């Protein structure tokens, strides 16, 4: 492992890193910093959230920036207000021993006139969210013609949040002569499109597998009936006395409903979602970071940009609609060399999705049982006893008042005294009418065929709306001599895309050969997919799963199975 001093950074920057306690770079920093220092070529850097990407792009830029000039040289675009503030604060810390380098953060939810004044005074680095940056450009306050570095941080999240139009407008205002640095956790189709449109021939670096989960995160799941989901959540929380984490829900309404029910049941929780005002969101986040709030109930969009390094748990009240989002959620715990747990509450019919997530992150999920009330009570008491043992008692016991307390309690037997304290501490828990009904449900078992084990699903950006059918797919495969004759399994034709399965041995070759080529005048985008192939489209009965046989490559000799409606 290298150290920062070996990466070619200036002594002033090394000194600021020493003050911050940074000694060894993370893998993404070790790869990105030397490249940015030594090349003006564009860069695409793929790494999970929480891997130190801010330092990876800001340190080499600060190493080269011109000091003492009130000219805008760097623009950093990020998805959320929280991330914007975090990046700008980090950069300010890195510039501690550099002369006259100013950083300005611009974001929605705050008065724009204050941000305009700061820009008019002159600044070297602007960190901003797409909407506010676009607004400042329209007002002709922010001019980007002098920038030398453009950074897109968390590019996949920005595009997922619907900022594509804003990004297009901003990027059109930037000069051609600049270095573009795109940092993302995943290389989705939309990220690839942005990179192709606005970046030159970019160098690409990747740290770990693109979909791999955090190494120090354990994954657990509980199976319950849909009607018992909230009751199961309460028992899970009761069994985690020291929980400090984020509870993810699918929608704003569900987030608010769950948070209100938890608060009514005396759980220390608050909700953040798109309808929470910026002022209230700031107050909630400040309290959460100070651990005055132990559980943050949030939608995926509202939680983006939140950077808290010591979360103990991430809880999925519902699994996300898109499997890639799971890695974003679970990656919010297990940071900064600490361990974490990702918990999912699922219904029996969702059991197969757990298997798919295991394939994505490369880890097994542990099936846990919803605890009984007796188990929860024991866990709560054990946690309380541990807290009591750790209390500092050095400053108590020497005054007359304490002696009076001892005399008053002497008449109570030791065992009875302990019972009194336990009963008082847990009176709400003991007096509440909680059901001890077994909430655990049986996971639905899915039989995996031989083909399922040996095949990989591929997703291609052609569907029924484009006139794409089985014959089109066979024609595409057989028209390339490198792919002619490969086995094709099940096929699903959707409106905007299609999914088909091929043997694992052939999957990478199919992607490599077809990616970026043209078919009927349209560029092909193809990638591995963890989406299920639905064998029942419409109301017609499915065909048998016979699969395609290897042949001489002629379409007429191939057989297919899967859905009967195409």
DSSP string, 98-151: SSS--EEEE-TTS-HHHHHHHHHT--SEEEE-HHHHHHHHHTT----TT-SEEE
Token representation of residue 165: 């139009």
Whether 418 and 527 map to the same domain: the answer is no
The answer as to whether 128 is a domain residue is yes
Q: Does the predicted model carry a pTM greater than 0.85?
A: no
Whether 437 and 454 map to the same domain: the answer is no
Task: Tell the residue number behind the tokens 């009176």, with chain if given.
Answer: 427
Task: Tell the residue number behind the tokens 């990046």, with chain if given.
Answer: 87
The answer as to whether 317 is a domain residue is yes
Cβ 368 vs Cβ 221: under 8 Å: yes
Q: Indicate the SS3 state at residue 446.
A: coil
Domain of residue 515, CATH code: 3.30.70.330
The answer as to whether 298 is a domain residue is no
The answer as to whether 296 is a domain residue is no
pLDDT of residue 533: 62
pLDDT of residue 12: 94
pLDDT of residue 536: 36
Whether 346 and 492 map to the same domain: the answer is no
Whether 317 and 371 map to the same domain: the answer is yes
Q: How far apart are CA 233 and CA 497, in angstroms?
A: 36
pLDDT of residue 535: 44
Q: Indicate the SS3 state at residue 16.
A: helix
Helix then strand count (H, E) for the chain reads 22, 21
Task: Tell the residue number behind the tokens 């792009």, with chain if given.
Answer: 57
Q: Give every strand in the sheet of 43-46, ordered side by side.
A: 103-106, 125-128, 74-77, 149-153, 179-184, 43-46, 203-206
Whether 381 and 491 map to the same domain: the answer is no
The answer as to whether 297 is a domain residue is no
Structural domain ending residue among the three candidates 446, 472, 505? 446
Whether 466 and 327 map to the same domain: the answer is no
End-to-end Cα distance, the chain: 54
Q: Indicate the SS3 state at residue 459.
A: strand
Domain count, the chain: 3
Whether 383 and 515 map to the same domain: the answer is no
- 46: enclosing H helix or E strand: strand 43-46
- Residues (pLDDT < 50) of the chain are 209-213, 535-566
The answer as to whether 289 is a domain residue is no
Domain of residue 157, CATH code: 3.40.50.300
> What DSSP letter does each residue of 234-249 carry, written as one string?
HHHHHT-TT--EEEE-
pLDDT of residue 211: 41
Whether 433 and 523 map to the same domain: the answer is no
Whether 61 and 178 map to the same domain: the answer is yes
Q: Indicate the SS3 state at residue 457.
A: strand
Whether 461 and 442 map to the same domain: the answer is no
Structural domain ending residue among the three candidates 446, 462, 489? 446
pLDDT of residue 49: 67
Whether 390 and 519 map to the same domain: the answer is no
Q: How far apart are CA 82 and CA 85, in angstroms?
A: 5
Q: How crowded is residue 269: how many other Cβ atoms within 10 Å of its Cβ? A: 19
- 74: enclosing H helix or E strand: strand 74-77
> What DSSP letter does each residue of 463-497 carry, written as one string?
-GGGT--HHHHHHHHHTSTTTTT--EEEEEE-SS-
Cβ 336 vs Cβ 317: under 8 Å: no
Q: How far apart are CA 270 and CA 256, in angstroms?
A: 9
pLDDT of residue 566: 24
The answer as to whether 525 is a domain residue is yes
Expressed as residue numbers, the domain containing 478 is 450-562
Cβ 412 vs Cβ 366: under 8 Å: no
Residue 428 backbone dihedrals phi, psi, to 5 degrees: -65, -40
Whether 408 and 375 map to the same domain: the answer is yes
Give the Å distances, CA to CA, from 78 to 82, 83, 163, 182, 243: 9, 7, 10, 11, 29
Q: Where are the alpha helices (DSSP H) in 410-459?
A: 414-425, 427-431, 450-454
The answer as to whether 54 is a domain residue is yes
52, HSE (Cβ side, Cα atoms, 13 Å): 19
Structural domain ending residue among the three candidates 431, 446, 461? 446
Q: How crowded is residue 495: how many other Cβ atoms within 10 Å of its Cβ? A: 10
Q: How far apart are CA 362 and CA 219, in angstroms?
A: 11
Q: Which of 249, 243, 229, 233 is nearest to 298 (CA)?
A: 249
557 contacts: CB under 8 Å, gap ≥ 6:
549, 551
Token representation of residue 51: 């891997």
Q: How crowded is residue 92: how many other Cβ atoms within 10 Å of its Cβ? A: 15
């Amino acid at each position: 492992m290298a150290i920062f001093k070996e990466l070619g950074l200036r002594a002033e920057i090394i000194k600021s890193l020493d003050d911050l306690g940074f000694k060894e770079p993370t893998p993404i920093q070790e790869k990105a910093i030397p490249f940015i220092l030594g090349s003006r070529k564009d860069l695409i850097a793929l790494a999970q959230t929480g891997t130190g990407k801010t330092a990876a792009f800001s340190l080499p830029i600060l190493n080269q920036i011109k000091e003492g000039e009130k000219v805008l040289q760097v623009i950093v675009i990020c998805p959320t207000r929280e991330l914007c503030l975090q990046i700008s604060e980090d950069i300010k810390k890195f510039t501690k021993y550099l002369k006259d380098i100013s950083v300005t953060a611009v974001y929605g939810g705050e008065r724009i006139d204050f941000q305009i004044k700061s820009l008019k005074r002159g600044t070297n680095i602007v960190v901003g969210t797409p909407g506010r940056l676009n607004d400042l450009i329209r007002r002709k306050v922010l001019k980007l013609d002098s920038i030398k570095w453009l950074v897109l941080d968390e590019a996949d999240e920005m595009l997922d949040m619907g900022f594509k139009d804003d990004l297009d407008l901003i990027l059109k205002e930037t000069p051609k002569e600049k270095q573009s640095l795109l940092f993302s956790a995943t290389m989705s189709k939309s990220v690839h499109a942005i990179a192709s449109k606005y970046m030159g021939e970019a160098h690409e670096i990747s740290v770990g597998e693109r979909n791999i989960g955090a190494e120090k995160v354990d994954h657990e799941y509980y199976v319950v009936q849909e009607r018992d989901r909230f009751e199961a959540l309460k028992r899970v929380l009761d069994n985690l006395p020291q929980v400090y984490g984020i509870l993810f829900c699918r929608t704003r309404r569900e987030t608010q409903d769950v948070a209100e029910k938890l608060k009514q049941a005396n759980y220390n929780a608050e909700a953040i979602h798109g309808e929470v005002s910026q002022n209230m969101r700031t107050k909630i986040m400040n309290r959460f970071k100070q651990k005055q709030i132990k559980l943050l109930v949030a939608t995926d969009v509202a939680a983006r940009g939140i950077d808290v390094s010591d979360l103990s748990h991430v809880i999925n009240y519902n699994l996300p609609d898109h499997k890639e989002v799971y890695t974003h959620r679970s990656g919010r715990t297990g940071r900064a060399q600490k361990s974490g747990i990702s918990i999912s509450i699922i219904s029996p019919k969702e059991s197969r999705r757990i298997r798919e997530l295991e394939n994505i992150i490369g880890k097994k999920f542990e099936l846990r049982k919803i605890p009984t009330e007796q188990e929860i009570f024991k866990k709560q008491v054990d946690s309380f006893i541990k807290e009591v043992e750790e209390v500092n008692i050095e400053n108590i016991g020497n005054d007359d008042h304490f002696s009076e307390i001892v005399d008053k309690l002497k008449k109570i037997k030791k065992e009875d005294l302990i019972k009194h304290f336990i009963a008082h501490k847990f009176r709400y828990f003991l007096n509440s009418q909680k059901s001890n009904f077994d909430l655990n449900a049986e996971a639905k078992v899915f039989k995996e065929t031989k083909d399922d084990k040996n095949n990989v699903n591929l997703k291609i950006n052609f569907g029924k709306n484009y006139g794409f059918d089985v014959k089109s797919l066979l024609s595409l495969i057989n028209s390339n001599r490198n792919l002619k004759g490969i086995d094709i399994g099940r096929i699903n034709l959707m409106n905007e895309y299609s999914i088909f399965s091929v043997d694992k041995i052939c999957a990478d070759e199919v992607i490599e050969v077809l990616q970026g080529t043209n078919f009927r005048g349209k560029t092909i985008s193809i990638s591995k997919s963890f989406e299920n192939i639905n064998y029942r489209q419409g109301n017609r009965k499915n065909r048998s799963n016979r699969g395609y046989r290897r042949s001489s490559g002629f379409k007429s000799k191939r057989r297919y199975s899967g859905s009967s409606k195409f």
